[in-house]
Amino acid sequence: MIKEIKLTLFSEYRSVLMGVAIIFIMASHSLGRFALNGNIGVEWFLISSAIGQFYSLKKNDEKWSFYKRKIIRVLPAYLIIAIPYFLF
């Protein structure tokens, strides 16, 4: 029998863990090889982002609305950066 992994505690403190991960990433970029375990911040951030995406998708089983919300949220920022970059 496989037990379901309970991620509610992790989800509750996800923003705090993402903040700590960002601090690790910034320390790694600014201190370089002198930062201890700086690369672990990237893994923490990716895992907490993936768990957030999972819970967001789990709220509503309709996948099209999930992807539509993500596209509406990401596309304007992407276009603001991409259009000037590709024009010049």
Q: Is residue 2 situated within a structural domain?
A: no
* pLDDT (0 to 100) of residue 81: 94
Pick from 17, 4, 19, 7: nearest CA to 55: 7
Tens of pLDDT, residue by residue over 5-58, are: 566 666 677 788 888 888 888 888 887 766 666 678 888 888 888 888 887 787
76 domain-assigned: yes
Residue listed under structure tokens 């993500």 = 70
* Residue 26 domain flag: yes
* 37 Cα distance to chain centroid: 19
Residue 3 lies in a domain: no
Q: What is the pLDDT of residue 15?
A: 82
Mapped to the 3 state alphabet, what secondary structure does 20-75 carry?
A: HHHHHHHHHHHHHHHCCCCCHHHHHHHHHHHHHHHHHHHHCCCHHHHHHHHHHHHH
Indicate whether 53 belongs to any domain.
yes
Q: Is residue 21 part of a domain?
A: yes
In a domain, 74, yes or no: yes
What's the pLDDT score for residue 52?
80
Number of domains the chain contains: 1
- The residue written with tokens 């989800």 in the block is 11
| Structural domain that includes position 53 | 8-87
